Chain A
Amino acid sequence: MSMGNEQLEYALHLADNALILGQRLGEWCGHGPVLEQDIAMTNIALDYIGRARLLYQYAAGMCAPESTEDQLAFMRNEWEYRNVLLAEQPNGDFAQTVARQFYIEAFQIDYLKALQQSGDATFSAIAEKSIKETAYHFKWASEWVIRLGDGTDVSHRKMQDALETLWPYTGELFREAPYESWMRKNLNGPDLAALYTAWSARLQPVFTLAGLELPAGQWMQEGGKTGRHTEHMGYLLAEMQFMQRAYPGLEW
């Protein structure tokens, strides 16, 4: 697949974020801490897989020659995936899954509002649909950060640890990749740096209610947006791509 088309790369970035997060949440299916949360995590996973499909379908039309959603989702090489590192981090315990979701959803709320204002009608429509889902996702994640932070000594410690562990992956959300600069300049795409303040403001009240400390680390990891991933990604792809790689080009 040839790269170099910024709009396509941008679509893949959004699609990959959605797919990889959906894949991770799907791993919980049948193993949640309580039935209601199994259902909640599957719900969120389903929203993300649905979003990924819309975005890959859009991206597929931009490819030359034209591609398909499954071709893009399953048949690319690891370095061609454009998702943020945070999305591919392992589920860990429930606290870590909650922390990952919390950081990302807090970001998505304002990001999607900005994307809705962009000059690309398809991105705008997908953003509009996603905003509603995100409101629920953020509520779910915040409530769990508060419950676990406030609950018992054990849950407090696990929640704090999880937030610390994933903190270094939050910086990448605000670092502009070349295709994001292009989107901002040419199609009024979201200005990532400008979203940081809003994101922090969403975290703060939740940390306060939960009695948790905002992590203080300054060093941030990055690379996912340009295809340099963590060691976890290879295993995720090996599992996710297995059928398409073993039996390429078939109908399922």
Chain B
Amino acid sequence: MPAQLFEERIEGEEKIEPRDWMPEEYRRTLIRQISQHAHSEIVGMLPEGNWVTRAPSLKRKAILLAKIQDEAGHGLYLYAACETLGVSREDLLSELHSGKAKYSSIFNYPALSWADMGAIGWLVDGAAIMNQIPLCRTSYGPYARAMVRICKEESFHQRQGYEIMLTLSRGTEVQKQMAQDALNRWWWPSLMMFGPGDADSVHSLQNLRWKIKRFSNDELRQRFVDMTVPQAELLGLNIPDPLLRWNPDRNHYDFGPIDWDEFWNVVRGNGPCNRERLHDRVNAHEEGAWVRDAAIAHAIKQRNRQAPVAS
């Protein structure tokens, strides 16, 4: 029975590979999760791309360009991992462009000042790493291998983001204000990146059992808060949560309630930048159609020109 073999391999921590039998629901879940992740990388290029042309120094411009380039690269590996499950990049992009596929909601918030390049690296990439490190051990082989490479680069991104915040927090009053304002705007959306609370998460249980996910949303969120609070203290910045305090009984930070109405509202398309982000992606794709068509037409002509010589 292939189903039994599948369950045994999951149980024995063996990787599932593209040619192996897998339950249809496992395949669908992976396609959904990996493509959402790929789309998030690509859409995530936009808020940062917004600052490439205005970066405040040549060094920062180069680092930012390199970081966004890494994200494009992550998008590529992830689309490729998804293709091993039998869907094409073209189909996945159509789902993104039609609004059917989701991407991380965090990118529907605007990047308003240079400090946002710091806050995105520090908090958004920091939260992404929390989510992604366990995925290096996820049960599907191509996804796990893509994640190993991605995590290495993400941790560099997080450090450079924190370093921007550190420079600002040691700077002038206006630089400190920029940094605090960015933290105020990105803190809660970063906590929302871990997804709904465990009680309300529809996909969580089965995904844990199949070892697609390794930890629950709330566990990861708690880890993120515990890691980030001391970092904010080092920066001398205030986390915008009056209920945040160390709880010695739990050995964790307690934090205030998350505004899930805001979360669902942004997921449904009403965030400050949902329309702009999707419009930018669709526009780049449509404007590029003639380029892609030309590349294909040229490749076909080349093949036809070479064919008679070969035969």
Partner of A240, one of B54, B283, B288, B293: B54
Complex interface residues of chain A between 89 and 148 (CB less than 8 A to chain B): 93-94, 146-148
Whether A70 pairs with B57 at a CB distance below 8 angstroms is: yes
Among the 9-residue stretches A4-12, A36-44, A217-225, the one with 4 or more Cβ atoms under 8 Å from chain B is A36-44
**Could you tell me if B54 and A154 are in contact, using CB atoms closer than 8 angstroms?**
no
Question: Would B65 and A152 count as touching, CB distance under 8 A?
Answer: no
A168 contacts the other chain (CB 8 A) = no
In the complex, A70 Cα to B56 Cα: how many Å? 8
Cβ of B301: which chain A residues have Cβ within 8 Å of it?
Answer: 150-151
Contact B172 A252 (CB under 8 A): no
Out of A43, A154, A251, name the residue touching B69 (CB < 8 Å).
A43
How many residues does chain B have at the interface if contact means C-beta atoms less than 8 Å apart? 50
Which of A31, A239, A250 is B280 in contact with, Cβ under 8 Å? A31
A26 at the interface (CB under 8 A from B): yes
Within 8 A of A (CB), among B55-86: 55-62, 65-66, 68-69, 72-73, 75-76, 79
- Across the two chains, which residue of chain A brings its CB closest to B55? A243
Cα-based distance from A73 to B56 in the complex (angstroms): 10
Q: At the interface, yes or no: B216 with Cβ under 8 Å from chain A?
A: no
Q: Is the CB of A23 within 8 A of B53?
A: yes
Given known A35-B72, A243-B114, contact A154–B290 (CB-CB < 8 A):
yes
Of A47-55, A76-84, A174-182, A226-234, the segment with at least 4 beta carbons within 8 Å of chain B is: A47-55
B interface majority secondary structure: helix
Residues of A close to B54: CB separation below 8 A: 239-240, 242-243
Q: B227 at interface (Cβ–Cβ under 8 A)?
A: no
Asked if residues A252 and B56 are in contact (CB atoms below 8 Å), the reply is yes
Q: Once the chains bind, are B284 and A26 in contact (CB under 8 Å)?
A: no
Q: Looking at A19, A22, A56, A243, which has the most chain B CB atoms within 10 Å of its CB?
A: A243
Measured CB to CB, the nearest residue on chain A to B291 is: A33
- Which parts of B158-206 form the interface with A (CB within 8 Å)? 164, 167-168, 170-172, 174-175
User: Which B residues are CB-close (under 8 A) to A247?
Assistant: 56, 172, 174-175
In the bound complex, CA of A121 to CA of B170 (Å): 38
CA distance A146 to B175 in the complex (A): 48
Residue ID in chain A nearest B299 by CB atoms: A147
Q: Check A42–B60 contact: CB distance below 8 A.
A: no
What's the nearest-Cβ distance from chain A to residue B53, in Å?
Answer: 5
The answer, yes or no, to whether A27 is at the interface (CB within 8 Å) is yes
B27-62 vs A, CB cutoff 8 Å, 1 = contact: the mask equals: 000000000000000100110110011111111111
CB contacts under 8 Å to A, within B273-289, are 280, 283-284, 287-289
A34-B292 CB under 8 A given contacts A23-B53, A26-B61, A70-B58: yes
**Beta-carbon contact of B172 and A250 below 8 Å:** yes
- CA of A174 to CA of B73, assembled, Å: 38
Q: A33 and B65: CB pair below 8 A?
A: no
In the complex the two chains form, is A49's CB within 8 Å of B53's CB? no
Q: Is A45 an interface residue (CB 8 A)?
A: yes
B65 and A46 contact, CB distance less than 8 A: yes
* Closest beta carbon of chain A to B176's beta carbon, Å: 12
Q: Which residues from B are CB-within-8-Å of A49?
A: 58, 61-62, 65
Please, which residue of chain B has its CB at the minimum distance from the CB of A19? B58
Is A155 within 8 A of B294, CB to CB?
A: yes
Knowing A244-B56, A252-B57, the reply to whether A50 touches B62 (Cβ < 8 A) is yes
Contact A30 B58 (CB under 8 A): no
Question: Does B245 reach chain A (CB closer than 8 Å)?
Answer: no
**Does B87 reach chain A (CB closer than 8 Å)?**
no
Contact of B58 among A33, A38, A53, A150 (CB under 8 A): A53
B235 to chain A, nearest CB (A): 15
Q: Are B68 and A52 in contact (CB under 8 A)?
A: no
B298 lies within 8 A of chain A by Cβ: yes
Inter-chain CA distance A52–B61, complex, in Å, is 12
* Cβ–Cβ < 8 Å partners of A34 in chain B: 288, 291-292
- Does A32 interact with chain B (Cβ within 8 Å)? yes
Determine whether the beta carbon of A52 is less than 8 Å from that of B58.
Answer: yes
Residues in B neighbouring A50, C-beta threshold 8 A: 62
Q: What are 17 A-B contacts with C-beta separation under 8 Å?
A: A30-B68, A34-B292, A35-B75, A39-B73, A42-B69, A43-B69, A46-B69, A52-B58, A53-B58, A148-B291, A151-B294, A152-B297, A240-B54, A247-B56, A250-B56, A250-B171, A251-B171
Q: A interface vs B, CB < 8 Å? A: 19, 22-23, 26-27, 29-39, 42-43, 45-46, 49-50, 52-53, 56, 69-70, 73-74, 93-94, 146-148, 150-152, 154-155, 158, 239-240, 242-244, 247, 250-252
| Sample of 12 further A-B pairs with CB below 8 A, known A45-B65, A46-B69, A151-B298 | A30-B46, A30-B49, A31-B283, A39-B72, A49-B65, A69-B58, A147-B294, A151-B293, A151-B301, A152-B294, A155-B290, A244-B56
